Amino acid sequence: MQNKVLYSVTGIFQTPDSIKHAAKSIADAGYKRYDINTPYPVHGIPKAMGMTISKLGYFTLVFGLSGIALALGFTWIITNIIYPLVQGGKPFFALPPFIPITFEVTVLLSSCGTVIIMLLLYFKFPNNSHPLHDTNYMKKVSSDKYGAYIMADDPNFDQSKVRSLLESLGAIDIEDIYYDEETVSLRPKVFEPKFLGFLLVAILITAGATYFTLNKLLFMPPFDWMSFQSRVNAQSLSTFFPDKHGMRMPPSGTIARGFMPFPYEGDPDKAGKMLVNPMTNTQENIEQGRKQYDIFCSPCHDWHGTGNSRLRGQFPNPPSLHSQKVRNWSDGMIYYIITMGQNTMPSYAYQVSREDRWAIILYVRTLQRAMNAKPEDIK
Ligand code: HEC
Q: In this predicted model, what pLDDT tens digit does every residue of 185-241 receive, in sequence order?
A: 666 677 788 888 999 999 999 999 998 988 888 888 766 777 777 788 888 898 888
Question: What band does 147 get if pLDDT is binned at 50, 70 and 90?
Answer: very high
Summarize the confidence of residues 64-77 as an average pLDDT. Answer: 96
CA of 294 to the centre of ligand 1 (A): 13
Write the single-letter amino acid at 150: I
What are the backbone dihedrals phi and psi of residue 361, each rounded to the nearest 5 degrees, phi first? -65, -40
Ligand 1 interacting residues, C-beta cut-off 6 A: 296-297, 299-301, 315-316, 318-319, 321, 323, 325-326, 334, 337-338, 342-345, 348, 352, 360, 364
HSE (CB half, 13 Å, CA atoms) of 222? 12
Pocket test for ligand 1, best of 288, 295, 300 (most atoms within 8 A of CB): 300
Task: Note the pLDDT tens digit of each residue in 15-62.
Answer: 999 999 999 999 999 999 999 999 999 999 999 998 888 899 999 999
- Can you give the pLDDT at residue 186? 65
**Are the beta carbons of 13 and 152 closer than 8 angstroms?**
no
Question: Ligand 1 center to residue 355 CA distance, Å?
Answer: 18
The pLDDT value given to residue 222 = 66
CA–CA separation, 185 and 187 (whole Å)? 5
User: Quick one: CA torsion of 200, 201, 203, 209, rounded to 10 degrees?
Assistant: 160
Task: Output the CA 315–ligand 1 centroid distance in Å.
Answer: 11
Summarize pLDDT for 83-108 with one digit per residue, the tens.
888 777 778 888 898 999 999 999 99
What integer pLDDT is reported at residue 360 of this predicted model? 96
Taking CA atoms, 248 is separated from 230, 233, 298, 349, in Å, by: 17, 12, 41, 26
Identify which of 170, 163, 150, 130 has the alpha carbon closest to the alpha carbon of residue 21.
Answer: 170
Please report, as a single letter, which amino acid is at residue 41: P
Q: How far is the CA of 337 from the centre of ligand 1 (A)?
A: 7
Separation of CA 301 and ligand 1 centre (Å): 7
Q: 316-370 pLDDT, tens per residue?
A: 899 999 999 999 999 999 999 999 999 999 999 999 999 999 999 999 999 999 9
Residue 230 or residue 157, greater confidence: 157
Could you tell me if 117 and 87 are in contact, meaning their C-beta atoms sit under 8 angstroms apart? Answer: no
Q: Which residue has the higher pLDDT, 284 or 129?
A: 284
Q: What is the pLDDT of residue 2?
A: 61
Using most ligand atoms within 8 A of CB, pick from 277, 294, 297, 363 the residue to mutate for ligand 1.
Answer: 297
The pLDDT value recorded for residue 185 is: 66
Ligand 1 center–CA 133 separation, angstroms: 97
Q: Whole-angstrom Cα distance, residue 333 to residue 111?
A: 64
> What value, to the nearest 5°, has the Cα angle with vertex 360 and ends 355 and 362?
100
Nearest Cα to 38, choosing from 62, 15, 70? Answer: 15
pLDDT value at residue 340: 94
pLDDT at 270: 93
With beta carbons less than 8 A apart as the criterion, state whether 315 and 323 touch.
no
pLDDT number for residue 176: 93
Taking alpha carbons only, the member of 121, 117, 141, 106 closest to residue 8 is 141
How far is residue 89's CA from residue 226's CA, in Å, rounded to a whole number? 22
| pLDDT at position 124 over 90 | no
Distances (CA, A) of 160 to 119, 166, 338: 34, 10, 103
Which of 342, 345, 361, 364 has the most ligand 1 atoms within 8 A of CB, as the residue to mutate? Answer: 345
- Work out which ligand 1 atom sits closest to the CA atom of 316: 12
